[in-house]
Amino acid sequence: MKKSKFESGRQAAKILALLSVGTCVAALMAGEGTPLQLALAILTLVLFVSIFTVAAVRCRCPHCGKTVIFGLWNATTCPRCKRSLTTGNKIKGKK
Ligand SMILES: [Zn+2]
């Protein structure tokens, strides 16, 4: 089955989050005040911003278009219209 736009966006955000953790740790281990640490710190910031950019652009409800950023990792339904974020269908058994 083909992945939905929402799922692939979430996947990309996850990868970016892992990368930013990696650069953050690398920055902490790099010598203090060195150009390497500065570069890694900037990279961490850039990755962090791109997580939100990816989430804002791609992680939207397919039904109402609401951007889902908070609780993105575990979100399955839209906080606004309560439909499935991956298919846009109504979730049965929930009001
Ligand atoms: Zn929605």
The domain total for the chain is 1
CA of 6 to the centre of ligand 1 (A): 12
CA of 79 to the centre of ligand 1 (A): 7
Determine the pLDDT at residue 37.
97
The overall pTM is greater than 0.75: yes
Determine the pLDDT at residue 92.
74
Residues of the chain with pLDDT under 70: 1, 93-95
Instruction: Give the C-alpha separation, 58 to 4, whole Å.
Output: 10
CA of 77 to the centre of ligand 1 (A): 8
For residue 34, the enclosing domain spans 5-58
Whether 93 maps to a domain, the answer reads: no
Whether 82 maps to a domain, the answer reads: no
Determine the pLDDT at residue 22.
97
CA of 69 to the centre of ligand 1 (A): 13
Largest Cα separation within the chain, whole Å, is 57
CA of 47 to the centre of ligand 1 (A): 27
Determine the pLDDT at residue 1.
59
Instruction: Give the C-alpha separation, 50 to 59, whole Å.
Output: 13
CA of 49 to the centre of ligand 1 (A): 24
Whether 87 maps to a domain, the answer reads: no
Determine the pLDDT at residue 27.
96
Question: Quick one: CA torsion of 58, 64, 70, 74, rounded to 10 degrees?
Answer: -80
Amino acid at 34: T
CA distances from 38 to 19, 27, 45, 52, 84 (A): 16, 8, 11, 22, 42
- For the record, the structure tokens of 72 come out as 């993105």
Whether 22 maps to a domain, the answer reads: yes
Whether 51 maps to a domain, the answer reads: yes
